[in-house]
Structure formats: C-alpha cells, structure tokens
Amino acid sequence: MVQIMISGVRGTRDIVLDEIEQWQRLERVVREICHRYGYHEIRTPIIEREELFSKGSGESTDIVQKEMYVFEDKGGEKITLRPEATPSMVRALVEHSLEQELPTAKIYSLGPMFRYERPQKGRYRQFHQLDVEAFGIESAALDAEVIEMAVQIVNGLGIKDIDLVINSVGCSACRPDFTKALLNELGSRVSELCGDCQRRSKTNPLRIFDCKVHNDQSVIDTLPHTIDHLCSSCRTHFSEVREILDRFKLDYKVSHRLVRGLDYYMRTTFEILGNSIGAQDALLGGGRYDGLVKVLGGPDRAGIGFAAGLERLVMAMPDESRETLLTDAYVVAIGDKARMPAQILTRDLRHAGLSAVVDLEAKSPRAQMKRADRTNASHVVILGEDELEQDLVSVKRMDTGEQETILRADIINYLRRE
C-alpha cells in the first residue's frame, strides 16, 4: 500500500490546541451579547441555490463574479457554498415568516463562509462569520443601536485598538444623481483606472471607492462623495444616526470611501477596523439594505445588519483573554484491583458534572502521575488497594501539592467545594 500524507485544502485551516479555547470564549461572549440585545439565533444550511446570491448579493459583485464555489449536484441543481450570510438570513426570514413568529425580527447566526480569494494572513477561503440582522424598522435609532452593539461585541472580547468608520451611500432616490456626478467627474480619466474599476464604472460606479490598486488612488481621491449628494431624507437619517452615536459617546470617523462591496447596501454603512492585526484589518462590516427582503420574494421590509470575521476577532483578542479549561480530577489507580473501581469512580464524577480523566491502558502509577501533570488537572484522586478496602480516596491539590485522605462517598462534594 502506498502511503501519502494528504494536507488540508489551500485557504482552509484547522483550529487546534490552545486556539480552540479562544474560539469557545469568543462564541460564548458573542451569544451572550446577542441575547442581551434581543437577538434570536438561527442556523441556516451551508449550501444554497446559486441564484440566492446572484440575486441577493448582486450579479456584478466580486463575490458572485469571482469568488463563489458553485457546482451542479447530481440532480442537476446549481448549488453554491454560501459566500456570505445575509441572503440566507433573509431567505429564512421570509420562508418561516419569522417576523410573525418572533417578538421583534432580530436574528443572528454563526458559521463558516466560503470564498475563492487569494489566501493571506486574515484572509481564507473557508472562514467564519457572526452575522447579525434586524428587520422592519426604518428609523435611524436602529442603525445606531446595531452599530453600538457591534462595538460592544468587539469591546466584550477585550479588543482595544479599533476604529469605527461610518458613511451613508444614499438610496434609490439620490443614487442616480450621485452616479451621474461621479461619472461626469471621472470623464475620460476612467481609462487611467485598473481593469476592475473600468468594469465597475459600467456596472456599479460606486464600487470604484472599494479599489485598493495604488495607481488608481490619485484619480479616486478627486471623485465626489456620496454624503454631499444625499437627498433630504437620507441626509436627515444620517444626521440622526450621528446624533445618537454622539449621545452614546462612541468615537467614529466618517469615511466617504466606505461603500462596501455588495449591491444591496443603502444609507448607513459601517466598519470596525482592528489596528493590531495587519493588512486585513476589517473586523466587521455592515449596513442598511431596505430593498433586499422584497428582492428575495418577501414583503417590503427594511433591514440592517453586519457580519464579523471570527478569525480576525480571534487574532485581535488579547492573549490574557485565553481561558484554559481545567480538568477537575485525574483519577490514578494503584494496583490491578483498583482499576475498575477507578473507572467507575471517574464515571460517577462525570455524572456529577465534573470533568475527570482516568488511565485506561494499565500504565504504572508513576506514568499516570506524569499524565495527570500534563492534563492540567486541578486535583489527582488516588485509589490504591488500601483506600479501596476502607472506602477511602486520597486527593492531591496540584497547585499546592497538599494531599489528604477522605471518604470515597465525600469526593464529589469535596471537588465541587474546591
């Protein structure tokens, strides 16, 4: 038989060893904060019909044009691995009439997304997002609440050095005028821009602001800004959002460059950047998308939300936020007769809600003690033949080395007290 080592797929990663503890803490904090803000968890499938994204994210977006994993399944259905969560969340909202089922239509989800991008630090082909969405409220009060919650999640994870950036990209009433002004200003200089921007100038000129190509920047810097071309209702909406953020005492910057890559955004857009994690510094981003529910076959409902990249949040979390999962007891059996009682005792500890490990390979007491050290156990519970006869156990605290012998019947309460 030929032996070969098969490595993981490029752009994917295993989350192993200490890092898993960061992820578990992150997920706990996120769920708790979502609950505090009245959000209800939902879980949607990883595979969806391809058209959900070509319609929902937008046919001309980079995601749909270049990054989706699409395949035909054995029944001839065109399927994709989801590249983002919002269209799935909206689909589920409509399909299950969640607006009627929930007291307020606020939902969140955690899970993997897939994009065929060029992998680098902080950018992967399979990555994970927290996705938060709220529906049915057009008021700027909701924009501010959602932005404040996003900051709270980042703060709750102990991430310090961040920038909150906001913008307004207008609505279907003011966008055409802005696009006209932008194309006018651009004029013949469009030929100086990169191929992607030339394509964007035809399909979605606003997205020229997303361009990162160095040579394009001098032209892009001269282009008009959306916030100078808002209609009066978009202008009022944006100033109300800012007023509430000010009252919340949140630090933010307005950036005219923040337009975000998806078709459905309107009015408020926002991002939180992490300054400690390198070039791929967007921790989360989102915005308002009032037309999307209708586009995806639902009622005409407002919507706003954001997606946070969990890999990037983990990268930005401080090391001291690592929590080590302690094992309550490592049960050591001395002598063959003690083996089965040790296994039964371990079972009893586990049933009582304690974490316990026992040697199942008949190793020597010395080897078992060594393992106990490596297991990060707070206590070693020793069961020798003497203890067995008298219904006793010895317990050793690993931090102080103190050891005492107690009644076997008392061990659960003893460890619980500890």
Given the rule CB under 6 A, which residues bind ligand AMP? Answer: 84, 115, 117, 122-124, 127, 129, 282-285, 307-309, 311-312
Q: Identify which of residues 211 and 308 has a Cβ nearer to ligand AMP in the complex.
A: 308
Q: Copy the structure tokens of residue 98.
A: 């969640």
- Closer Cβ to ligand AMP, 196 or 311, answer by number: 311
Which of residues 118 and 417 has its CB atom nearest to ligand AMP in the complex?
118
3-state DSSP assignment of residue 409: helix
- Using the minimum distance from each CB to ligand AMP, give the nearer residue, 164 or 307: 307
Q: What's the CA gap between 327 and 297, in Å, rounded?
A: 51
**Rounded Cα gap, residues 355 and 372, in angstroms:** 13
Q: Is residue 396 within 8 Å of 379, Cβ to Cβ?
A: yes
Nearer to ligand AMP, 127 or 178 (CB): 127
CA distance 31 to 36: 9
Q: Are 418 and 378 in contact (CB under 8 A)?
A: yes
What is the C-alpha to C-alpha distance for residues 17 and 325, in angstroms, rounded to an integer?
Answer: 11
The CB-of-308 to ligand AMP minimum distance in angstroms stands at 6
Q: How far is CA 410 from the centre of its chain?
A: 43
- Identify the CA nearest to 388 among candidates 326, 355, 345, 417: 345
The owner of tokens 């913008």 is: 167
Nearer to ligand AMP, 117 or 138 (CB): 117
Provide the β-strand partners of residue 167: 269
Smallest gap from residue 274 Cβ to ligand AMP (A): 9
Supply the minimum distance, in Å, between the C-beta of residue 7 and ligand AMP: 19
* Cβ closest to ligand AMP, residue 291 vs residue 384: 291
Shortest distance in whole angstroms from residue 115 CB to ligand AMP? 5
Nearest to 311 by CA among 126, 118, 133: 126
CA–CA distances in Å: residue 299 to residues 57, 91, 302 = 18, 12, 9
Shortest gap between Cβ of 316 and ligand AMP (angstroms)? 10
Angle at 34 between CA 141 and CA 286, to 5 degrees: 55
Query: Residue 290 Cβ, how far from ligand AMP at the closest point, in Å?
Result: 18
CB of 116 to ligand AMP, least distance (A): 9
Q: Which is nearer to ligand AMP, 60 or 375 (CB)?
A: 60
Distance CA 173, CA 291 (A): 12
Closest residue to ligand AMP, judged by C-beta, is: 309
Q: For the CB of residue 283, give the shortest distance to ligand AMP in the complex, in Å.
A: 5
Distance CA 327, CA 112 (A): 29
| Complex with ligand AMP: residue 164 or 358, whichever CB lies closer | 164
Compute the least distance from the CB of residue 260 to ligand AMP, in Å.
6
Between the two ends of the chain, the Cα-to-Cα distance in Å is 53
